[in-house]
Amino acid sequence: MMLDELEADGLIVNFNKVQQTKPKHLPKEVLIWDETLRDGEQTPGTSLLIDEKIEIAKLMDEMGIAIINVGFPAVSKDEEEVVRRIAAEGFKQAKICAPARAIKSDIDIAIQAGAEEVPIFIAFSNLHLKYKLKKTPEEALSIVTDCIEYAKKYGVIVDFVTEDTSRTSIDDTVKIFKTALDAGADRVVIADTVGFLRPESMRYLVSQIRDRLYKEVKRKVPLSIHNHNDFGLATANTLAAIEEGVTVPHVCIAGFGERAGNAPLEEVVMALEFLYDIRTGVQTEKIQELADKVSEAFAILLPVHKAITGENAFSHEAGIHVHGILSHRLTYEPIPAETVGRKTEFYMGKHTGSQIVKTKLEQENIEATDDQIKQIVLQVKETHKLRDKVEMLRQLHKAAELLRETRLGLKENEFWNIVTAVTGKKPKK
């Protein structure tokens, strides 16, 4: 029996469907914008080959991702070639986008590489204007108008992104968003660049921008959200933004990305599909396949406790839980594992109970008395307990060191060797 059948039989009470819990501005449909190949690749120490990017992008297209940000072409010739190669694949469902700074040469490169959609970004917080851009607000507004009008002449979809929106005043945000929309931007993107907001703060910010833009431009403006996970709130803040009418969330599979990463694709999609009853167009059965493929390409293991995609997400050891799962899997799992391409797993160890032992023996047609089953359970627990914890920790530290060595960033001595080769000078230390 699936969730809806259990609800119909009164076996599950689903408070997510209570009308009073449904936000007023909740959209009926959401388009998923994936950033794994751009922001995700900015995970420190990672680097993808062109063929890896193409393979991942193809899978995303197959599974129904609406927009794929495939790379920043102005960064290098290699990145430009990545965008060009992926754009030439002719995907059936996904739009290929490539970002550009608010610089015409960046826009040219993105369009020439074949991007159908170009997110143009600039910061407008006082902090970024003063210390990074070293420009006045008036200069930034003029640049935005000029660049968006320039890009729209080429017939591409233009998204306008303000970096650090979450630390910019609402007045300033509305001003620059209106400027972008007046210049022809198709969508505006709110960015919590350093993961600084609480969900209630996010609701307030999005609702204020939504309502004030509606008054300013006299139409409903398509809104997008880009959240980072510095305080572990990227998923919560993304859902809070969607509750206020955002229809295009940015995500990365498994939450990869700079620093603590971005809103995880699997969490946002599954929450929307199962907790909000909102269609995303994503074939959720392919989520684990995508996560595993990206994990291998990034050479970074998925955290075992990661929601949805982690090894333990559908794994059980405690006897009480296993007993319940064997009776009906949804007793201790929120959704059927198959909905994300997983299967339920059982672990044998300290917390093992008799029910899983009985089940495993029955599967192999092995008969055993109750006393024998008790002995097996006891020996399983004793065997687990006898494992050398010191040796386990030694192996863990060794594995951790090996994993660090596989990261693709340059080591400190490699950097200084390059400096010495170029300058002829060695560092003092």
Give the model confidence (pLDDT) of 32-70 as tens digits: 999 999 999 999 888 899 999 999 999 999 999 999 999
For the chain, the domains span: 25-298, 315-385, 389-423
pLDDT at 318: 81
pLDDT band at 303; cut points 50, 70, 90: very high
Which of 143, 233, 248 minimizes the C-alpha distance to 197? 233
- How much is the average pLDDT of 349-369? 87
Q: Which residues of 247-257 are buried (b: 16+ CB within 10 A; e: fewer)?
A: bbbbbbbbbbb
158 three-state secondary structure: strand
pLDDT at 76: 94
**Which position has the higher pLDDT, 396 or 182?**
182
**Which position has the higher pLDDT, 334 or 348?**
334
CA of residue 348 relative to chain centroid, distance:
32
Contact 346, 317 (CB under 8 A): yes
CA distance 265 to 137: 34
pLDDT above 90: residue 279: yes
pLDDT band at 4; cut points 50, 70, 90: confident
Instruction: Name the DSSP class of 228.
Output: B
pLDDT at 219: 95
pLDDT at 5: 82
Rg (CA), the chain: 25
Q: Which helix (H) or strand (E) holds 33?
A: strand 33-34
Question: Mean pLDDT over all residues of the chain?
Answer: 93
Could you tell me the pTM of the whole model?
0.91
Contact 49, 37 (CB under 8 A): no
β-strand partners of 43: none
pLDDT at 388: 65
pLDDT band at 407; cut points 50, 70, 90: low
CATH topology of domain 25-298: TIM Barrel (3.20.20)
pLDDT at 93: 94
With a pLDDT cut of 90, the percent of the chain lying above it is: 74
- How much is the average pLDDT of 221-246? 98
- How much is the average pLDDT of 174-189? 98
